[in-house]
Structure 1
Amino acid sequence: MYNPLIALAVAVVFLSISLSYFKILNFHTGPMACNGILFVSNASRAYNLSLKSIRYVKDVLYINYFGKKENSISVLSKQIEDIYSKVAVQRPNLDVRFMLKAITEQEIKTNHNVDLLLFDMDLSCKMDTLRTKINKKHIKTQCVESEDNVESVIDEQDVNSYDCVVLGGTFDRLHNGHKILLSQSVLRAKKHVTVGVTDVNMIKSKTLWELIQPIEERIAAVYDFLTDIDPDLEYNVVPISDMYGPTKDDPRLQLLVLSEETARAAGKINDKRKENGLKELEVFTIGLAKDERKAAEEEAKLSSSNQRMRLLGTFLRPPQANPNIPDWPYVIGLAGGIASGKSSIIDKLKLKGAATINCDTIAHDLYRPGLTLNRTLADTFGDEIITSSGEVDRSRLGQIVFSDKNQLETLNKIVWPAVINEAKNRIRALGEQGHRVVVMEAAVMVRAKWYEYCHQLWSVIIPPEEAVRRLQERNGLTEEQARQRIAAQPTNQEQVAIANVVFSPYWSYEHTQAQIDRVWTELERYLSDRH
């Protein structure tokens, strides 16, 4: 016979036991942690459990297989591919690190402080051990269990290990494709891993190479990742100036790890080693991870080029206060070499609501007959630069100054002060008319340092060869004349080095528009918080 009092008592006892269990585990129920570590009892379930764990962690997720690496190398190799190629689709900005160090009695140390401990149900009875492993008695915990409890299907195959493994790459803005390459190398190494990181002379053929991180930052990022996934190996991360790097003269190296797109390099490397009397390297090639977020203009694989393209139209450097100019209107300097596409960027910014000033147009205005600058230029460069109607013949003046550096400097000293003074007057007038944002466009923005009169500097770049082609086509110049004019201006690298935002209208109209949309959204958000 049903007794409500007995039923209530049973429910209370069950609830009490459940609450006690949750309290013991200190279950995480709050907002996302910054960094977490996931312990898995079965290596073949690491990928499935990591998919469930990414909801709890914002910045860095460590995954640690609670077993011995030597017993599961083929399983771990498959998990490396799945974790880094598939988790990125769900959380592209999450830094995932699959730890490959063999389990020992030692404490696990990470380069990023962990504030959440995650584990699968089979490890719930080892909570004290897990806390001890990360040396944190008081840390939030979260049990993670995949809904279907599925284990990855592994095609068992022999995976050989080597004392010394070598690999190379650009490693710009370390992404999951890089992590696969590095992790597969670590997995196969017993003592030592050498990593060659391409230096400046090897990167200039790459898309938007001007945005590639400095070599010191790339080396530091590689070393940080390697020491996180297995701190027990010895690492040698070095800059390389050719495709061979240490492979051409280091007799210790045994295995070369590379990706499908660089597989042909293996033959050349081994030929070089034979020339130097060294044993050929064995080769392990990994497949390319697909980039599920790719746009039409981007590569199909996970790549640094795609990442650099996605930086276009974003704040690369946060704006800094400029106490030398009024707070309003907000002035953006737009720099870019001749034929770089500044005009297309200006047109799109106008449609967003920006007022614009073209310093080249200001110079035209100041060249008019009867004005002081017109007469000064004639006195300096000769009356032959003045047309019969009294105008400055800009084509003739350009022929004089772009073939003679001293003449160009003379022209700049005359024209620049007059132009920037007029530009400041026009900016002030636009502000008085109620415009909040004014874009000041100038090809000489960087060289003249007119960005000192701006709140931000935005730069427009295209590949130099494309600029030469456009300039020849647009101005009817010879290739030599076009190269002279481009050489007289700051390089793309100089433009990028100090810019807050970079654009490149090199691809489709839609791709350029997407850059403008991104930056305008960021700018509006920034200005809304600015007093």
Structure 2
Amino acid sequence: MSMFSTGILVLTSPLHILPLRIAPVLSSAAERVERTLYVHLQPGLNLGSGSQPRPVFIPPVVDLSTLISRLYSNAADVCGHLDVRVLLTNVRSQSTACGGTTIQTSPFPTPQSLSHSPEVVLTDFALQDPGQSHQVTQCLQRYTGRCYVCSPSLRSVLLHQQPVSLQDEEEGVKEKAEPLETYSDVVVGGTFDRLHGAHKTLLNISCLLANKRFLIGVCDQAMLKRKVLKELVQPYALRVEKLREFLQDIRPSLEVEIVCIVVSEETRKGGEAVNKKRIENGLPALVLHEIQLLKDAHHTETEEEKISSSSLRSRLLGTLLDKSHLPPLPYVIGLTGGSGSGKSSIAKRLETLGAVRIDCDKLGHEVYQPGTAAYHRVLEEFGSDLLNDDKTINRRALGRKVFGNQERLKALTNIVWPEIALLVKERIRKAREEGKQVCVVDAAVLLEAGWTDMVHEIWVTVIPEEEAVSRITERDGVNTDDALRRLQSQWSNAKQVEHANVVLSTLWEPEVTQKQVLKAWNLLQKRIQQRQEGQ
């Protein structure tokens, strides 16, 4: 069975029946398409009449908004790997159609260009006569070509129909076929991180409601502070780019201003607060159109029951964010993270799974030992008054000499960090001689010290700042201000994540951390195996 990167699904069943059929249709389409699946709605389209059908406008009705919600919800359940997009170019209300001096009779005066050109067109159209198969597929290709710019080698597929019972059809008829109230302008707001089915439902229904303009507010910076795993939120520019691409695909004709706010159940209070201020300022209240949240059938005990970007970000934990070069064994992981992030506990978990742990804190103590190169250079730079009675360096006294003085601190790290790096390389060489597969370099200063050239992947542990402060004060017996100063002297979570191949978090219960570590370890083993097979 051939697989295609991008496909377009032409749905011809009546709107009130489609919600009953859509899950198996999507599942069947996912067997042919592996990346992007566009959905074009043309209820009642007859591909078997012998004449070539033309695309026509369909009105925005309540049934249509119901179908869109069901479609994206089912897509998340049965084909979550696909980027599904419901196209609305051929949806237009009667008031809009009659609003201008020239009435446009065709939704597609010229074929619409999509961000990904369809390579295959699929349909739920039911063949009455198996002998019509070739005629119907040819008709389907010509119809699709009138609507959208497709690949020159466009293929067509008739999906297997699963019959709907008479009882189901009767239940479907009960759905509301009344017109959907539309507005001149619609506004929404959100983070829109990694567009998922709930985002797409909100955006599609907003496009249905808007006759002329559509305004979107995208959160950034201060508004992201309380987001779970905010370090993994996509950059603002990328989120805006993905939004524009999606909207250009689904309905390319909309502009921008404010008359109606579209909210979800959880943001209705925000919409009500806006209306309160508008009334206080002598402005009319805005209509609040509420969209139901989509349930996430795959959520875990630590994730929200609704489909959310927070859950998607949590599923990134332990996965490879950025592919790394894979040289010979041992495969070296550089593990880092801020104070209190649980870095060392993760290193110990990896050690129990078979990794060789290289503890850079312990190596740091070694380089200060009498007789080492760093020992003599530190005394030359900072003075022999640092010595204890047993001729060891008093690390506390040394700390006082460099505290608050960036120039003196840099002089110290320029002496110590290269010596620690030499010891790390020696431990890696020893692991190679012993035939070990994986080494974990447990180093708080991995990135600051520039040790990334010694490792093949960088794994970063992150927790929110307030949680880190709580852990540091409890563990080290310092006050909140001292804990904050310590964190602020280190690289921020966001800066570390910029360099990360894999991100982990110990924010939740230990068993959740263990699941993350196992996931990361198992995926790492697969990467190592793939590298060996490719040699």
Query: Is 1:48–1:146's contact at 8 Å kept on the other side of the alignment?
Result: no
Aligned partner of 1:519 in structure 2 is: 520
Aligned partner of 2:97 in structure 1 is: none
1:101 aligns with 2:89: yes
Aligned partner of 1:143 in structure 2 is: 158
Which of residues 221, 224, 238 is equivalent to 1:203?
224
Stretch deviating more after TM superposition (326-335 or 273-282): 273-282
Displacement of 1:133: 3.0
Query: Is 2:472–2:483's contact at 8 Å kept on the other side of the alignment?
Result: yes
Question: How has the CA–CA distance of structure 1 residues 487 and 263 changed in structure 2, closer, same or farther, with 3 Å as cutoff?
Answer: same
Q: Report the residue type matching 2:120 in the other structure.
A: L
Stretch deviating more after TM superposition (280-289 or 44-53): 44-53
Q: Report the residue type matching 1:100 in the other structure.
A: L
Aligned partner of 1:233 in structure 2 is: 254
Aligned partner of 1:296 in structure 2 is: 301
Cα distance between partner residues in 1 of 2:530 and 2:9: 38
The TM-score normalised by the length of structure 1 is: 0.84
Q: How many residues align?
A: 482
Aligned partner of 1:192 in structure 2 is: 213
Cα distance between partner residues in 1 of 2:359 and 2:397: 22
Cα distance between partner residues in 2 of 1:450 and 1:79: 53
Q: Report the residue type matching 1:147 in the other structure.
A: P
Cα distance between partner residues in 1 of 2:372 and 2:224: 49
Post-superposition CA distance 1:122-170 (Å, at most 9, x none): 5885534344334568632222323326554413555211111110100
Cα distance between partner residues in 2 of 1:499 and 1:405: 26
Stretch deviating more after TM superposition (355-364 or 429-438): 429-438
Aligned partner of 2:118 in structure 1 is: 114
Q: What residue ranges of structure 1 are gaps of 5+ in the alignment?
A: 1-29, 237-251
Displacement of 1:511: 1.8
Q: Report the residue type matching 2:316 in the other structure.
A: L
Cα distance between partner residues in 2 of 1:361 and 1:518: 28
Post-superposition CA distance 1:361-392 (Å, at most 9, x none): 10111222454434544565566754444444
Give the secondary structure class of the aligned counterpart of 1:216. helix
Aligned partner of 1:63 in structure 2 is: 39
Question: How has the CA–CA distance of structure 1 residues 486 and 400 changed in structure 2, closer, same or farther, with 3 Å as cutoff?
Answer: farther
Aligned partner of 1:17 in structure 2 is: none
Give the secondary structure class of the aligned counterpart of 1:54. helix
Aligned partner of 1:364 in structure 2 is: 365
Alignment of 1:51-450 (within 5 A): 51=23, 52-55=25-28, 56-66=32-42, 71-102=59-90, 104=106, 106=108, 107-121=111-125, 126-127=139-140, 128-134=142-148, 139-144=154-159, 145-148=161-164, 150-151=168-169, 152=172, 153-156=174-177, 159-234=180-255, 252-274=257-279, 278-320=283-325, 327-377=328-378, 380-381=381-382, 386-395=387-396, 397-398=398-399, 401-450=402-451
Displacement of 1:454: 1.5
Question: How has the CA–CA distance of structure 1 residues 135 and 417 changed in structure 2, closer, same or farther, with 3 Å as cutoff?
Answer: closer
Aligned partner of 2:22 in structure 1 is: 50
Cα distance between partner residues in 2 of 1:480 and 1:380: 31
Query: Is 1:313–1:502's contact at 8 Å kept on the other side of the alignment?
Result: yes
Cα distance between partner residues in 1 of 2:435 and 2:413: 32
Displacement of 1:395: 4.6
Identity within the alignment, %:
36
Displacement of 1:92: 1.5
Query: Is 2:5–2:119's contact at 8 Å kept on the other side of the alignment?
Result: yes
Q: Report the residue type matching 2:176 in the other structure.
A: D
Cα distance between partner residues in 1 of 2:450 and 2:226: 29
Aligned partner of 1:460 in structure 2 is: 461
Cα distance between partner residues in 2 of 1:171 and 1:503: 22
Give the secondary structure class of the aligned counterpart of 1:44. coil
Q: What residue ranges of structure 2 are gaps of 5+ in the alignment?
A: 44-55, 92-105, 128-132
Query: Is 2:61–2:178's contact at 8 Å kept on the other side of the alignment?
Result: no
Give the secondary structure class of the aligned counterpart of 2:146. helix
Query: Is 1:84–1:176's contact at 8 Å kept on the other side of the alignment?
Result: yes
Post-superposition CA distance 1:231-275 (Å, at most 9, x none): 2323x5xxxxxxxxxxxxxxx421100111111111332344456
Cα distance between partner residues in 2 of 1:312 and 1:98: 30
Q: Report the residue type matching 1:79 in the other structure.
A: L
User: RMSD across aligned C-alpha pairs, in angstroms?
Assistant: 2.5
Give the secondary structure class of the aligned counterpart of 2:16. helix
1:34 aligns with 2:5: yes
Post-superposition CA distance 1:169-223 (Å, at most 9, x none): 0000000110111111001011111111112221121001011001111011111
Cα distance between partner residues in 2 of 1:146 and 1:254: 43
Displacement of 1:297: 0.9
Stretch deviating more after TM superposition (171-180 or 80-89): 80-89
Cα distance between partner residues in 2 of 1:160 and 1:311: 39
Query: Is 1:43–1:72's contact at 8 Å kept on the other side of the alignment?
Result: no
Displacement of 1:481: 2.1
Displacement of 1:31: 2.9
Cα distance between partner residues in 2 of 1:402 and 1:291: 50
Cα distance between partner residues in 2 of 1:375 and 1:138: 73
Cα distance between partner residues in 1 of 2:383 and 2:282: 68
Aligned partner of 1:246 in structure 2 is: none
Query: Is 1:314–1:502's contact at 8 Å kept on the other side of the alignment?
Result: yes
Q: Report the residue type matching 2:508 in the other structure.
A: W
Displacement of 1:276: 5.8
The TM-score normalised by the length of structure 2 is: 0.83
Cα distance between partner residues in 1 of 2:36 and 2:244: 16
Query: Is 2:259–2:286's contact at 8 Å kept on the other side of the alignment?
Result: yes
